[in-house]
């Protein structure tokens, strides 16, 4: 048995954070039906995967073996702009516990598949909407991507060199709204057990990005000091929490915020005189002023250049000092800790043989997460799902001919 076995999820999100959230629900045992768009559909409703497939992008097929955010799902392709397509969604809403969508505000209403419409079909339905800026506010209708959300949320301004331009991170930080979606959905499921009613969840990627700065924003409210790049402890202003180059031109991370860890490091490098220069709460919003900090920096930089990264890690871990190497992705997926935690899964794919996927981030002792199926091909389960809803082969055939389903 799995934790969410029996929970039924209708995934209208197609790509992005919504699909991450529904994948986590699927890993935990929920039955997830992913609604996609037939390739023949024109315009923006097509969706990215259908658009790329129509352009002959073979990678969209090949990646299905490796794509953890689409595993444990079934795919049905429906033209949501048609009355018959909308009727199928109403049937699926009767079946579902949860709907996740990522349309711009107003689009679901225009397609007649918004929360008021679907909750009238199923009052117990939990409807999670993920948008760029949320359902309210002056920016609600604007489009956006991660770089936009990080910019408006104050995150991007804090990434990069002190005197340089902001630097966009490679991975999409606001994408992890999907994880918060899971939190909200599970809370709503618990609430439904008490009230018997579903509810609407309004998640904004911009809100999520701002939430990443919760500690810094709290300090700003308290002190009025605006954090700057290279100006505070968490982005490299102080030597006890920093990145250092080593003899073999690799990098290590040192994280000695606690006084006892910093003391251990100072003793390890033979500089007990540095011990009093440790973390203080004011370092959260104030740049170093005492010139001793630069002396300590210069010393540590020289010291760490005397040995390789592996040698430093081996020595300092024995002395209870927080240290890691800065790894590449190739090294990360082969790291013994990552392997032991089963964050890399090796699976047997019917077409590609042995493939690897990201492992399960939520570890549960009694109801563990599982990979039950690989990412589906576009519309792979259309017939199966429609027949399960009571539609016969003739109706399905007519709909396929008319481009309503695929």
pLDDT tens by residue, 310-326:
999 999 999 999 999 99
Please classify residue 201 by burial: count the beta carbons closer than 10 Å to its beta carbon, then call 0-12 exposed, 13-18 middle and 19+ buried: buried
* Contacts for 79-86: CB closer than 8 Å, 24+ residues apart: 79/37, 79/38, 79/41, 79/45, 79/403, 79/404, 79/405, 80/35, 80/37, 80/45, 80/111, 80/113, 81/41, 81/45, 81/111, 82/404, 84/399, 84/404, 85/404, 85/405, 86/111, 86/112, 86/113
pLDDT recorded at residue 232: 82
Give me the residue spans of the domains in the chain.
8-211+337-401, 233-245+251-325
Least confident of 44-48, 117-121, 303-307: 44-48
pLDDT bucket at 225, cuts 50 / 70 / 90: confident
Residue with tokens 């939520």: 362
Give the right CATH number for 233-245+251-325 from 3.30.43.10, 1.10.4100.10, 3.30.10.20, 3.30.1540.10. 3.30.1540.10
Q: What is the mean pLDDT of residues 248-259?
A: 96
Are the C-beta atoms of residues 269 and 257 closer than 8 Å to each other? Answer: no
Are the C-beta atoms of residues 159 and 228 closer than 8 Å to each other? Answer: no
Q: What is the mean pLDDT of residues 96-124?
A: 97
% the chain with pLDDT above 70: 95
CA-to-CA separations, 134 to 17, 104, 106, 202, 301, in angstroms, rounded: 14, 9, 11, 6, 45
Say whether pLDDT at 186 is over 70: yes
Say whether pLDDT at 210 is over 70: yes
Q: Which SS3 state, helix, strand or coil, does residue 23 take?
A: helix
Q: Distance (Å, rounded) from C-alpha 395 to C-alpha 221?
A: 61
Give 161-206 as a DSSP string. -TTS-----SS-SGGGHHHHHHHHHHHHHHHHHHHS---EEEEEHH
Residue-wise pLDDT tens digits, 53-80: 555 555 556 678 898 999 999 999 999 9
Q: Which two tokens stand for residue 349?
A: 């794919």
pLDDT recorded at residue 399: 97
Say whether pLDDT at 129 is over 90: yes
Q: Distance (Å, rounded) from C-alpha 179 to C-alpha 165?
A: 30
Q: Which SS3 state, helix, strand or coil, does residue 50 take?
A: helix
Say whether pLDDT at 389 is over 70: yes
Say whether pLDDT at 51 is over 90: no
pLDDT recorded at residue 54: 52
Q: Which one of 56-65, 154-163, 223-232, 339-348 scores highest in mean pLDDT?
A: 339-348
Least confident of 74-83, 196-205, 221-230: 221-230
Better-predicted residue by pLDDT, 32 or 56: 32
pLDDT recorded at residue 57: 54
258-289 per-residue burial string, b: 16 or more CB within 10 A, e: under 16? eeebbbbbbebeebeebeebbbeeebbbbebe
Residue-wise pLDDT tens digits, 135-164: 999 999 999 999 999 999 999 998 888 888
What would the CATH number be for the domain defined by 8-211+337-401? 3.40.50.10540
pLDDT recorded at residue 406: 95
State the pTM of this model. 0.91
Say whether pLDDT at 102 is over 90: yes
pLDDT bucket at 87, cuts 50 / 70 / 90: very high
């Amino acid at each position: 048995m799995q934790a969410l076995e029996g929970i039924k999820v209708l995934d209208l999100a197609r790509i992005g954070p919504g699909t991450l959230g529904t994948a986590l629900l699927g890993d935990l045992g929920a039955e997830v039906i992913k609604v996609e768009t037939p390739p023949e559909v024109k315009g923006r409703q097509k969706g990215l995967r259908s658009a790329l497939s129509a352009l002959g992008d073979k990678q969209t097929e090949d990646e299905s073996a490796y794509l953890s955010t689409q595993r444990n799902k079934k795919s049905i392709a429906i033209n949501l702009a048609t009355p018959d397509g909308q009727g199928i969604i109403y049937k699926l809403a009767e079946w579902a516990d949860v709907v996740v969508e990522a349309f711009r505000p107003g689009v679901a209403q225009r397609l007649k598949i918004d929360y008021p419409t679907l909750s009238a079909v199923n009052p117990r339905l939990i409807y999670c909407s993920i948008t760029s800026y949320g359902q309210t506010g002056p920016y609600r209708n604007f489009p956006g991507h991660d770089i936009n959300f990080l910019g408006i949320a104050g995150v991007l301004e804090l990434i990069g060199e002190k005197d340089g331009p902001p630097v966009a991170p490679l991975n999409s930080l606001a994408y992890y709204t999907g994880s918060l979606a899971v939190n909200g959905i599970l809370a709503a499921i618990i609430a439904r057990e008490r009230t018997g009613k579903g509810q609407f969840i309004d998640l904004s990627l911009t809100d999520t990005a701002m939430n990443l700065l919760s500690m810094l924003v709290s300090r700003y409210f308290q002190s009025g000091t605006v954090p700057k790049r290279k100006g505070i402890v968490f982005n490299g202003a102080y030597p006890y929490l920093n990145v250092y180059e080593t003899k073999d031109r690799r990098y290590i991370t040192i994280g000695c915020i606690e006084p006892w860890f910093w003391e251990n490091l100072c003793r390890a490098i033979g500089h007990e005189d540095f011990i009093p220069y440790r973390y203080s709460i004011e370092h959260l919003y104030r740049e170093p002023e005492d010139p001793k900090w630069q002396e300590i920096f210069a010393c540590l930089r020289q010291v760490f250049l005397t040995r390789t990264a592996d040698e430093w890690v081996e020595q300092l871990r024995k002395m209870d000092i927080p240290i890691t190497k800065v790894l590449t992705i190739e090294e990360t997926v082969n790291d013994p800790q990552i392997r032991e935690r089963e964050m890399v899964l090796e699976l047997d794919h019917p077409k590609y043989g042995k493939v690897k996927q990201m492992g399960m981030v939520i570890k549960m002792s009694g109801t563990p997460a599982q990979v039950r199926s690989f990412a589906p091909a576009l519309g792979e389960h259309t017939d199966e799902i429609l027949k399960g809803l009571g539609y016969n082969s003739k109706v399905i055939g007519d709909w396929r001919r008319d481009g309503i389903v695929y």
